[in-house]
A and B are shown apart, each in its own frame.
Chain A
Amino acid sequence: AQSVTQLDSQVPVFEEAPVELRCNYSSSVSVYLFWYVQYPNQGLQLLLKYLSGSTLVKGINGFEAEFNKSQTSFHLRKPSVHISDTAEYFCAVIISGSRLTFGEGTQLTVNP
């Protein structure tokens, strides 16, 4: 069963517009949540993580995400994107101590 789902495979936006990349996970009592970014032909870099504590998590490059337990979501947001934010973004989860599982990725393309 799919434990993490990224609802959009591609998200095109214009520069300086807000963006939301959606991620939903299988319901569980214990969950750790992550967003990684991958620039072309490079490895993945951690953007932010939720392990415990505040449900609003701030990451690098102005990104933030909110852990919503009732909706089993962990959507990634940025209020104003730049051309340099063009990349693929991966949501990843650890559910009840299982192995880290990645979503299929969302390609964010920022157009001028």
Chain B
Amino acid sequence: KNQVEQSPQSLIILEGKNCTLQCNYTVSPFSNLRWYKQDTGRGPVSLTIMTFSENTKSNGRYTATLDADTKQSSLHITASQLSDSASYICVVESGAGSYQLTFGKGTKLSVIP
């Protein structure tokens, strides 16, 4: 069964600090891995998409890494801001031919002043 596990479940950091969120997956065959940011009460917004051949991708202060061999990904947030408070969701797409996305439960990040 395809699964996406994220850690930690929740995280509280001080404004200005860096943090790293983890994602482990057991999805096969692998097509791509996505990170989304979901503000409370809103729909998710795409941050990065990485295919098998990509090791890292950045979007402003967000940097995602992918190790397809160990099936792990991380999302690093640099110089956190209060507006970074949200849930960060890891999603893995299977390349099985038919549409299949497996969603993680997300990491709830709280940035405090």
- Do A and B truly interact? no
> Which residues of A come within 8 Å of B, CB atoms?
none
